[in-house]
Amino acid sequence: MSHRPDARPEPTTCSAFSARLDEPLPGTAPVATTWLAIEQPGPWGARALRQSHLDPEVGAQLEQRAEGTGLRIALIRRVGRHALTAADEPRTVLLCDTRPGSAAVRSTAFTDPRELLDLDLASLAAGRIDAGEPVTNPVLLVCSNGKRDRCCAQFGRALALELTRADPAAQVWESDHLGGHRFAPTAVVLPTGYVYGRLDTGTALAALEAARRGQVLTERSRGRSTWSRPAQSAELALRAELQESDADAIRVVGEQRVGASGHAVELVARDARYRVLVDVAPAARPRPESCGKVFGTPIELRVTEVEKLA
């Protein structure tokens, strides 16, 4: 039986507010065309790359090199294993391109964190992944960084533990910040880059199984990180319109502003072109974007029109 981990969220948590207000998920994924996931056991701070047992100088340099490239760096750790390991024990590095037609994950390892500085981040950001060995099964990174938000720690860690018990063969990692605490539990499937929110065990396993078949589970999807936020929302709406599950079947080919709050996104699917209008505006009702933060009105994205052009 599938259920949301650790019962219901407390009514004062950011995820409880978001769920109660039925905040739309599409268009809320972090934007990243490529990912670099680095195994770092032990505790993480709110800014994990600089606040963990990873050499902070290495973390700062990686962060600086990745800025503005479309590459997102995440720390990961094995589910349930937060104790530090021996300094010379090999650790995993995942390198991922999420773009349709070239989506892939490769895995390599390091013992000295300074080896990470030898990675060609510019090439990785451009989708050229040469290091490591191919990873044939999809990978799920579940946000569990409690220093960023207690919802991620409580619900994310519980989900990761349930998934490893339900399917010990599944490639599941705990991850630091994926954005969108108020959608916890939240996770990203690699290599496609589809991000999910308000996950339960059954939906997470279904998303992994779909990815194994080269498909996409749109239920509870926040969007494909490959695209901008309006394009994420548009792509999911077109998938629903066409009942299309093939991961590579839809591509975003253009986007422009329309009026004060609209975005027109052009997509290609099944040898046809489509135009999807997305309204981007502050939420009408305030809510906390993270636990303990003041109430605000985050941007909500709503599709207003799907039109076939040719």
Considering only CA atoms, which of 96, 61, 98 is closest in space to residue 76? 96
pLDDT tens digits, one per residue of 202-229: 999 999 999 999 999 999 999 999 999 9
pLDDT band at 154 (very low <50, low <70, confident <90, very high): confident
Q: Which residue has the higher pLDDT, 181 or 95?
A: 95
pLDDT for 147 beyond 90: no
Kindly report the pTM of this predicted structure: 0.92
**Structure tokens of 184?**
């916890």
CA distance linking residue 157 with residue 289, whole number of Å: 20
Residue ranges of domains in the chain: 1-227
Q: Which of 174, 259, 186 is nearest to 19 (CA)?
A: 186
Helix (H) or strand (E) holding 74: strand 71-78
Q: Taking 80 as the threshold, does the pLDDT of residue 81 lie above it?
A: no
- Tokens representing 18? 């978001």
Q: What is the pLDDT of residue 8?
A: 52
% of the chain residues with pLDDT over 70: 94
Chain center to CA of 267: 21
The CATH number, out of the four listed (3.90.1640.30, 3.40.50.300, 3.40.1010.20, 3.40.30.10), of the domain defined by the range 1-227: 3.40.30.10
